[in-house]
């Protein structure tokens, strides 16, 4: 589970990646977080823990997931060759189970009785509900009312798996408010429950833990790409909301001479409230116990956000992403709702793969790169972080079956 060499010494002992991250929490959370941190430091070096996690990944999750050459799509776009790391084939349909099974195993080690978390698009909620069922634990998931209405298939999956789904009814009723509600509930009983955050965000040690559990994506993708092509990709890309799938993928290539691109949701445009492009338009601030780039209103409070992808509409972003942006190692770009919708249908129609709307942002970026230089022979590896089953009703209702999106 150890990250690549240049990441092995990050964060520092206070949880900072450069000037981002840290622990900014009420006093009543300091001791529970210290206990989680100490427990993780022990189990992450435990042979028995690592062996059990490997067994779970292989026999329960179905890892490794394949890396796939999107040959038909690539041919239609020119000389750029697009490859997909198929996290949509991970059990439950997304990358989220990678850290949820690790968090569930940690909870069992710590003697906790309940897993508690937020969810946006529902994929983290489904994954954590799956982990709770696997380990025989209770599970409470907080989800914004807007997202509950938008993501009905995942709501049903969570309920079938036995979780208690609790609506977040304040504010914009989306992901930020779900995190607010989950953290508040966690503070009420940290003795018996563990907060299993859904991304590389939150106070230390969560950004580090989730990155380490997700690093398997980058490790596999790097090995698979080398086996398939004999070379490393020219560009590695992934969508970024909080940033868990991207950080897992990027960790595998961070020491290599490859370009790394994060793709944020531009939504409907650059006006505050129309997008969730935190790295592009945000400034330094504190949210949910950590320092990061943050979309803010005139008073400095977390600003309103929007994305067609419920899993990306968060006003903050993982602190390690912030550090990688400032260092220049990773370049952060944007894709609009319109771009993501086109990519959703184009990949479906040309490769028989229906991507999650979150992942569609990264696919859109790969398509844009190919169109910008159709005569340049290069390779782009996309982390296809999830499948689009959850989005199909929403997409058909608003955009039809995709007949207008033909290359």
Same domain, 35 and 67: no
CATH number for position 168: 3.40.50.1100
| Sign of the dihedral defined by the CA atoms of residues 31, 37, 41, 46, in that order | positive
pLDDT at 6: 66
Same domain, 325 and 293: yes
pLDDT at 3: 55
pLDDT at 98: 98
291: which strand partners? 21, 286
φ and ψ at residue 175, rounded to 5 degrees: -65, -45
Same domain, 193 and 297: no
Specify the pTM.
0.95
Among 85, 96, 173, 176, the active-site one is 96
Same domain, 46 and 80: no
pLDDT at 251: 98
Token pair for residue 305? 């956000």
Q: Which of 171, 186, 207 is the last residue of a domain?
A: 207
CA separation for the pair 136, 76 (Å, rounded): 48
Same domain, 81 and 126: no
pLDDT at 403: 85
33, 25 Cβ separation under 8 angstroms: yes
Same domain, 297 and 222: yes
> Is 271 part of any domain?
yes
> Is 198 part of any domain?
yes
pLDDT digits 0-9 by tens, 207-236: 999 999 999 999 999 999 999 999 999 999
Pairing outcome for strands 20-21 and 16-17: antiparallel
> What average pLDDT score do residues 267-280 get?
98
209, 40 Cβ separation under 8 angstroms: yes
pLDDT at 2: 53
Annotation marks residue 188 as catalytic:
no
Among 118, 177, 320, 342, the active-site one is 118
Please give the tally of structural domains in the chain.
Answer: 2
Per cent of the chain over pLDDT 90 is 90
Q: Which of 159, 182, 207 is the last residue of a domain?
A: 207
> Is 13 part of any domain?
no
Annotation marks residue 307 as catalytic:
no
Cis upstream peptide for 64 (omega within 30°): yes
Q: Which of 173, 207, 241 is the last residue of a domain?
A: 207
pLDDT digits 0-9 by tens, 176-194: 899 899 989 999 999 999 9
pLDDT at 406 over 90: no
Between 362 and 393, the higher pLDDT residue: 362
> Is 265 part of any domain?
yes
Same domain, 180 and 36: yes
> Is 225 part of any domain?
yes
> Is 8 part of any domain?
no
> What average pLDDT score do residues 161-188 get?
91
Among 103, 244, 385, 390, the active-site one is 385
Token pair for residue 257? 């001479």
Name the nearest CA neighbour of 340 among 384, 308, 381.
308
Same domain, 191 and 336: no
> Is 378 part of any domain?
yes
Same domain, 133 and 166: yes
pLDDT at 404: 83
Name the nearest CA neighbour of 84 among 71, 72, 96, 67.
67
Same domain, 381 and 238: yes
pLDDT digits 0-9 by tens, 313-356: 999 999 999 999 999 999 999 999 999 999 999 999 999 999 99
pLDDT digits 0-9 by tens, 10-42: 999 999 999 999 999 999 999 999 999 999 999
Same domain, 199 and 221: no
Residue span of the structural domain in which 387 resides: 62-93+215-399
Same domain, 262 and 394: yes
> Is 405 part of any domain?
no
Annotation marks residue 96 as catalytic:
yes
């Amino acid at each position: 589970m150890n990250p690549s060499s240049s990441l092995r010494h990050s964060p520092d002992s206070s949880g900072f990646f450069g000037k981002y991250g840290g622990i900014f929490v009420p006093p009543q959370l300091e001791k529970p977080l210290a206990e989680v941190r100490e427990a993780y430091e022990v189990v992450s070096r435990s042979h028995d823990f690592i062996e059990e996690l490997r067994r779970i990944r292989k026999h329960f999750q179905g890892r490794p997931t394949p890396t796939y050459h999107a040959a038909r799509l690539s041919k239609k776009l020119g000389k750029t060759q697009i490859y997909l790391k198929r996290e949509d084939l991970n059990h439950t349909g997304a990358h989220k189970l990678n850290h949820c099974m690790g968090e569930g195993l940690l909870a069992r080690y710590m003697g906790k009785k309940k897993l508690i978390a937020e969810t946006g698009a529902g994929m983290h909620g489904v994954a954590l509900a799956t982990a709770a069922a696997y380990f025989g634990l209770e599970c409470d998931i907080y989800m914004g009312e807007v997202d509950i209405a938008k993501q009905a298939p995942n709501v049903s999956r969570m309920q079938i798996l036995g979780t208690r789904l609790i609506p977040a009814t304040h504010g914009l009723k989306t992901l930020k408010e779900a995190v607010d509600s989950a953290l508040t509930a966690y503070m009420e009983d940290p003795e018996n429950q563990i907060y299993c955050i859904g991304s590389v965000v939150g106070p230390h040690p969560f950004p580090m833990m989730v990155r380490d559990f997700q690093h398997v994506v980058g490790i596999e993708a790097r090995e698979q790409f080398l086996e398939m092509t004999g070379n490393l990709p020219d560009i590695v890309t992934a969508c970024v909301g909080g940033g868990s799938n991207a950080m897992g993928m990027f960790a595998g290539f961070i020491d290599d001479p490859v370009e790394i691109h994060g793709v944020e949701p531009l939504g409907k445009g650059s006006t505050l409230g129309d997008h969730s492009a935190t790295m592009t338009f945000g400034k330094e601030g504190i949210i949910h116990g950590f320092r990061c780039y943050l979309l803010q209103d005139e008073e400095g409070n977390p600003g309103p956000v929007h994305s067609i992808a419920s899993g990306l509409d968060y006003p903050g972003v993982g602190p390690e992403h912030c550090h990688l942006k400032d260092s220049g190692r990773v370049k952060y770009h944007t894709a609009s709702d319109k771009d993501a919708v086109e990519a959703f249908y184009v990949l479906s129609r040309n490769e028989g793969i229906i991507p999650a709307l979150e992942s569609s942002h990264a696919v859109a970026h790969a398509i844009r790169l190919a169109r910008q230089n159709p005569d340049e022979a290069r390779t782009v590896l996309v982390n296809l972080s999830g499948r689009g089953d959850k989005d199909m009703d929403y997409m058909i209702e608003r955009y039809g079956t995709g007949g207008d999106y033909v290359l």
